[in-house]
Amino acid sequence: MTWQQRYESSVMNTFGTPALALARGEGARVWDTDGKAYLDLFGGIAVNALGHAHPALVQAVTSQLQTLGHVSNLFTSEPQVALAERLVGLFGHDARVFFSNSGSEANEAALKLTRLTGRSHVVAAHGAFHGRTMGSLSLTAKEAYRAPFEPLPGDVTWVPYGDSEALTAAVTDATAAVVLEPIQGEAGVLFPSDGYLAEARRITREHGALLWLDEVQTGIGRTGRWFAHQAVADLEPDIVTLAKGLGGGVPIGATIAGRATAELFSPGNHGTTFGGNPVACAAALAVLDTIESDGLLEHVVSLGKRLSDVIASDPAVVAVRGSGLMIGADLAHEVAPQVVQAGRDAGFLLNATGPSTLRFVPPLVLTDGDVDQFAAAWPGILAAADSAGTP
């Protein structure tokens, strides 16, 4: 049997049959089971912050597993407490942390926190992606994800992303929270209008509602800051959710809440078996240490600009927007899936978020040499896709 046949006969069909079976990785490169190499500009959907098989991550996980693997949350461990302290410090405000295993779970915890305000109304944005568990799905906008599972829990009002007037009209004294991504990833790396997040803070304060920012994709250095919302001066959200890059590939999610909000939870309100696992926390600490020691925040800004310029250099690309190494590109024609295929044929892992939109979220350790390699291949990839897309 081929690996495709083995997959189709044994794994639930929630993603379709994968395009590749990958065997190993190093830095920003991966190799499939046939030995073909690919430059990874997809990063496991913004997860592989340190790329693949980074020595610091391998050492942290190996060392921790040799010492203490899992302890449950009836006990704690030094990595768990140290990571919580570290995240609170990076957040920059008095806060506490709840650890889980994924972005969806981080958002589930946040949603439950909002219910403890005594209110249940939440305002979310068109184009939002907050996860696929039932609670987080209720705040995810895409109809194809939602429809098979409706009715979904919660009283949710949807507003256009970046529209302050619509947000003003939607938030009332019965609103528990407004949940927003500082940059919408799944929607194609979309930015809100200038001043929107500050306006959201003003509006939520005016009505006693929480401002909850989903930084599952934008957090932990992806945009050149620890948190994307830190680009807005003096912005202090009530809740921030994290996952993806935090563990560099080891599953972990985190819900950070300002102290007053965090203390809405009391023992028994929420829980998780694996969240805060010492191995996952050690991995996250290694990610944070490496981003800091290797100057990756600055690197992300400069290399992101270079990569954006390369992407925009071909006339087949009509718009590029991004922050750090989170870049969206619109094509002149609806051939984004064909670009992904042509990229794969040429040895590059790419991602389409729509018929004419691409998303680039490579490892933060991407190098100038990697960008040079992509720059040399990019025109040919687009030409091959255009040819394939023409009837």
Contact 256, 239 (CB under 8 A): yes
> CA 56, CA 50: separation in Å to the nearest integer?
9
299-332 pLDDT, tens digit per residue, is 999 999 999 999 999 999 999 999 999 999 999 9
d(Cα 221, Cα 90) in Å, to the nearest integer? Answer: 11
Could you count the other beta carbons within 10 Å of the beta carbon of residue 199?
Answer: 18
Is 129 one of the catalytic residues?
Answer: yes
Active site residue 345: no
Kindly state the tokens that stand for 209: 């509602």
pLDDT value at residue 276: 97
**Residue 30 and residue 333: Cα distance in Å, rounded?**
29
- Going residue by residue through the chain (391 aa), what tens digit of pLDDT does each one get? 999 999 999 999 999 999 999 999 999 999 999 999 999 999 999 999 999 999 999 999 999 999 999 999 999 999 999 999 999 999 999 999 999 999 999 999 999 999 999 999 999 999 999 999 999 999 999 999 999 999 999 899 999 999 999 999 999 999 999 999 999 999 999 999 999 999 999 999 999 999 999 999 999 999 999 999 999 999 999 999 999 999 999 999 999 999 999 999 999 999 999 999 999 999 999 999 999 999 999 999 999 999 999 999 999 999 999 999 999 999 999 999 999 999 999 999 999 999 999 999 999 999 999 999 999 999 999 999 999 875 5
Point out the catalytic residue in the list 42, 98, 129, 227: 129
3-state helix, strand, coil in the chain (%, to 5): 40, 20, 40
Give bridge partners of residue 213 from the DSSP assignment: 180, 240
Tokens 């994800």, residue located: 145
Catalytic residue among 40, 91, 244, 348: 244
Spatial distance between the Cα atoms of 38 and 32, rounded to a whole number of angstroms: 8
**Distance from C-alpha of 355 to C-alpha of 330, rounded to nearest angstrom:** 9
214 is catalytic: yes
* 141, two tokens: 């906008």
What is the rounded (10 degree) CA torsion for 209, 245, 300, 338?
Answer: -100
Q: Which residues contact 379 (CB under 8 A, 6 or more apart)?
A: 314
121, β-bridge pairs: 155, 175
Residues β-bridged to residue 317? 331
d(CA 312, CA 2): 39
Angle at 16 between CA 12 and CA 19, to 5 degrees: 125
Residue 364, both tokens:
């933060």
Contact between residue 325 and residue 301 where contact means Cβ atoms under 8 Å apart: no
SS3 26: strand
Strand order of the sheet with strand 253-258?
95-100, 253-258, 239-242, 210-214, 175-180, 121-125, 155-159
Q: Among residues 42, 91, 98, 214, which one is catalytic?
A: 214
Q: Is 303 exposed, middle or buried (0-12, 13-18, 19+ CB in 10 A)?
A: buried
